[in-house]
Amino acid sequence: MNNPVTFEDLAALMKGRAGLAVDPWEMEHQPEAAFADYGLDSLGLLGIVSELENRYAVAIGNDPETCRTPHEFLELVNAQLTLGA
Amino acid sequence: MRAPEQQPSGQQAGRRAVVTGLGVVAPNGVGTDAFWKAVQQGLPVLGPVTREGCTGLPLRVAGQVNDFDPAGLIESRFLVQTDRFTHFAMAAADLALADAQLATDPEAPFAIGVVTAAGSGGGEFGQGELQQLWGQGPHFVGPYQSIAWFYAASTGQISIRGGFQGPCGVLANDEAGGLDAFAQACRTIRRGTDAVVVGATEAPLAPYSVVCQLGYPELSLAEDPQRAYLPFTEDACGFSPAEGGAMFVVEEEAAALRRGARIRAVVAGHAATFTGTGGWDRSRQGLARAIQGALAEAGCSAADVDVVFADALGVPAADQAEALAIADALGPHAADVPVTAPKTGFGRAYSGASALDVAAAVLALEHGVVPPTPNITEVRHDLDLVTGHPRQVRLRTALVLSRGLMGCNAALVLQRADDDPKRYARR
């Protein structure tokens, strides 16, 4: 079974794929903060979804790309990854 | 051939465009001071191509920008989604905006627009993503491929990064685009925008981009950096490519004066023609018409031209056509007006080349110095090409010429701001 994607993982992806320095602790403790508040645009999120799909060899689908916040995103992504396991 | 455009001149429309900021990223210097020092000295910096993946290709000599650290100048969120040509553009725009002491006003975000020209877009970024495509599969192509390769990327990113929401445009053009961008900036100003961030940069020294250029018969494949790019001589054997370019702040004159900006030059006239790719001899008539159109828009006569920044392609037929075009347009004055081509020292950066010539022309007007044409000694045309040492001479009007490999010809007239009688009459 896949380990769930953590806020640390997401922060590393935001850095690597979109060049954004985001504090994972802050992301975890501010559930209402949106990706846009961190400067992540839709292309940046698309790149993160692709990276996760490649990493886990699982199709995540299009829904995560429409997530507004990191919390919604991780919830959806981890549900998908668990399904695929 | 299309006639030179007949736009109302800045004077007629009552909204003149002036240059208030310069930003240069060139093989011979990053920043205006370093660039001008090298240009004035005629420092040759053409050298061997050392870029990864390029060293085995037949192109041996180019003008590389080696002292440029994008990570120290541009935020990483802009770096990951842009090609090197846009890194140059963003860095040069920062320098120009700092020089002009201009920033966006949150109360008036539409007051500043952006215009850039580009001849090839983001070749290096595109190559990386295409290698992902063929190496690993479509799923490994990053989403920023959709915007980074694009000719318009620099305009868009400068606009987003600086918050410039005024009219934006891009000229997907050949070498002449660096001058045509000024015409578009002037139109934008005539239509009511206060300031435009304008210019052109290119980054053609990556493997895919170099391979594309190998198809140009005008490209010099010579091995000796001092012999590879020798326009107007018996040894002319094509041009050496370069990377880099320049960005500027161009403002409506009254708006610039109101905020106390230093006016570095007046953008007085421009015209463009198209003569296609059917032989360089055809550029003679096109370039002459462009010169005449630009002088007419500036309200200048041929005798008013104090210095010519030549296109200087380095192909015998093209050099001949340019010399004849200058003679056709300037008459007897063509034989005694100083002509220069600083780019023989650092190469032709496509649309960035003419933008760098504009930067050199503004600096020449300010300093009263015609910089020399590096590496050139014996000139075979009836031109007063300035070689060897810089020439001190009082300069009021500069003519900048550019021709592109795809058949565009353009001329731009720049004038000193501080001894322009019209300007003082208007104040």
Both tokens of residue B68? 């440029």
Q: How far apart are CA B26 and CA B34, in angstroms?
A: 9
Predicted pLDDT of residue B156: 98
Name all domains of chain B by residue range, CATH numbers in brackets: 10-258 (3.40.47.10), 265-417 (3.40.47.10)
Domain coordinates of chain A in residue numbers?
A: 7-84
Nearest CA in chain B to A44: B143
Report the run of H or E that residue A53 belongs to, with start and end.
Answer: helix A42-56
pLDDT, tens digit (0-9, with 9 covering 90-100), for B57-100: 999 999 999 989 999 999 999 999 999 999 999 999 999 999 99
Whether B139 has its CB under 8 Å from any CB of chain A: the answer is yes
Closest residue on chain B to A40 (Cα)? B77
What pLDDT is stored for residue B426 in this prediction?
41
Contact B317, B238 (CB under 8 A): no
As a whole number of angstroms, the distance between CA B293 and CA B401 comes to 12
* pLDDT at site B265: 98
The rounded distance, in Å, linking the Cα atoms of B338 and B312 is 14
CB contacts of B140 in chain A (<8 Å) are 50, 54
Spatial distance between the Cα atoms of B115 and B199, rounded to a whole number of angstroms: 7
pLDDT at residue B422 is higher than 70: no
Task: List the beta bridge partners of residue B251.
Answer: B18, B195
Q: How far is B257 from chain A (nearest CA, A)?
A: 36
Cross-chain Cβ contact A19/B81 below 8 Å: yes
Tell me the ipTM for this assembly.
0.89
- The 3-state DSSP class for residue B54 equals coil
User: Which residues on B lie below 8 Å from A19 (Cβ)?
Assistant: 75-81
The alpha carbon of residue A3 is apart from the nearest alpha carbon of chain B, in Å, by 22
Residue B257 has pLDDT above 50, yes or no: yes
Report the C-alpha dihedral over residues B102, B362, B13, B192, rounded to 10 degrees: -20
Domain A7-84: CATH superfamily is ACP-like (1.10.1200.10)
Residues of B in Cβ contact (< 8 Å) with A38: none
Structure tokens at B354: 């003419």
State the Cα–Cα distance between residues B199 and B141, nearest whole angstrom: 30
At residue A2, the pLDDT reads 72
Q: Which strand (E) or helix (H) includes residue A31? A: none
**Distance from C-alpha of A39 to C-alpha of A62, rounded to nearest angstrom:** 21
pLDDT at B11 over 70: no
Residue B371, CB half-sphere, CA atoms under 13 Å: how many? 31
| pLDDT one-digit tens code per residue, B157-215 | 999 999 999 999 999 999 999 999 999 999 999 999 999 999 999 999 999 999 999 99
Residues linked to residue B112 through DSSP beta bridges, in sequence order: B195
B273 pLDDT above the threshold of 60: yes
Q: Distance (Å) from the C-alpha of residue A31 to the closest C-alpha of chain B? A: 23
The model's pTM? 0.94
Cα separations in angstroms, B11 against B235, B287, B299: 44, 24, 9
- Nearest CB neighbour to B77, from listed A19, A50, A54: A19
Which residues of A are less than 8 Å from B139 in CB distance? 50, 53-54
- Nearest chain A residue to B76 by CA distance is A19
Segments of B283-386 assigned E as strands = 307-309, 338-340, 369-370, 384-385
Does residue B81 sit at the A interface (CB-CB below 8 Å)? yes
Q: Is B142 on the interface with A (CB under 8 A)?
A: yes
